Amino acid sequence: MADLLERRPTARAKEVTRRRRWGRPGTWIAAAVFGFFFVNLAGVVGVPLADSFGTRWFTTWLPEGWTTKWYGAAWREFSLGQVFWTTALVSVLVVAVSVLIGVPAAYALARRSFPGKKLVLLLFLLPILVPPLTYGIPLATVLYKFHLAGTLTGVVLANLVPSVPFVVLTMTPFIEQIDPRIEAAARMCGARTGSVLLRVLTPLLVPGILAASVLVLVRTVGMFELTFLTAGPDSQTLVVALYYAVFSAGIRTQQSIDAMAVMYTLSMLVLLVIALRFVNPTQLVTRVKEEHTHP
């Protein structure tokens, strides 16, 4: 009789079995939240995608027919050839200047100790953490004062404000991982600081430079506020041109606008995939935690 009582499942055992069978309530809640997020994401992406290929779409679940003519119409109507060229030119110039300025600055922060170093790091963080509009409007005012706003030069200068600190914060951990004794050996052989930076450190920093360049490229292509405030008719990037296509005066075909939005989304998706192959998104977060934990 005692053996039979011992073999009977207790209430806790029944609860454990039930949880294994149906899962914890928190699991179901998390699954519901993620499911709701992905359904909304599918709607946000899927509706413009379907509309960009649809002939007519009013009251049915799917468009009445399918066509690709809206992509050609968008390319001609919005002069996307010029827009893509401007976007590529602005992005390449911002990346090049940011790397030329940011890598030496990151080297100085990684190898030198000086009074106010933490304050300098904080100043580099501000353009990244603060919303761009807070400093974009005063910056645009200054550029208009010197007749640089509305030009390609003004757009590049505006995008350099957050891009240079981004390169500095990305490159500093890469430089700190290099043994300083390598530089000391090069100096003992007669190399100057410029030669050490170009001939010794640069080959070792190629992965970090590529990672910073791709991240700045993604950020520049997706930067709306600063480009919108400083761009002119001939210096609009793709995201600003998409905004004007939606909200400017005049009647435009919705399918053409959706086709333009799909092309912008695909370009950003390609850039993000390339960026994730070069850098781990948690590196900067880990870096900031280490600085606060080990001052």
pLDDT tens profile 132-180: 999 999 999 999 999 998 899 999 999 999 999 999 988 888 888 888 8
Residue 4 has pLDDT above 50, yes or no: no
Residue 3 has pLDDT above 60, yes or no: no
> What does the pLDDT read at residue 279?
64
Residue 287 has pLDDT above 50, yes or no: no
> What does the pLDDT read at residue 145?
92
Which amino acid does the sequence have at 61?
A: W
Nearest of 263, 258, 260, 275 to residue 44 by alpha carbon: 258
Burial, 112: exposed, middle or buried (Cβ in 10 Å; 0-12, 13-18, 19+)? Answer: exposed
Lowest mean pLDDT among 191-195, 210-214, 288-292: 288-292
Task: Give 185's pLDDT tier (boundaries 50, 70, 90).
Answer: confident
- Length of the chain as a residue count: 295
Whole-angstrom Cα distance, residue 169 to residue 219? 14
Residue 7 has pLDDT above 80, yes or no: no
Sign of the CA dihedral with 42 first, then 47, 48, and 51 last: positive
Instruction: Write down the pTM of the prediction.
Output: 0.78
Fold of 88-293: MetI-like fold (1.10.3720)
Whole-angstrom Cα distance, residue 151 to residue 278? 32
Is-contact 124 168, C-beta < 8 A?
yes
Whole-angstrom Cα distance, residue 95 to residue 93? 5
Query: Which is higher by pLDDT, 9 or 197?
Result: 197
Whole-angstrom Cα distance, residue 89 to residue 237? 9
Residue 83 has pLDDT above 90, yes or no: yes
Task: Give 5's pLDDT tier (boundaries 50, 70, 90).
Answer: very low
Burial, 180: exposed, middle or buried (Cβ in 10 Å; 0-12, 13-18, 19+)? Answer: exposed
Got the DSSP string for 189-211? TT--HHHIIIIIIHHHHHHHHHH
pLDDT tens profile 207-252: 888 888 988 998 999 999 999 999 988 889 999 999 998 887 777 7
Give percent of the chain with pLDDT exceeding 70. 84
Nearest of 206, 237, 250, 212 to residue 79 by alpha carbon: 237
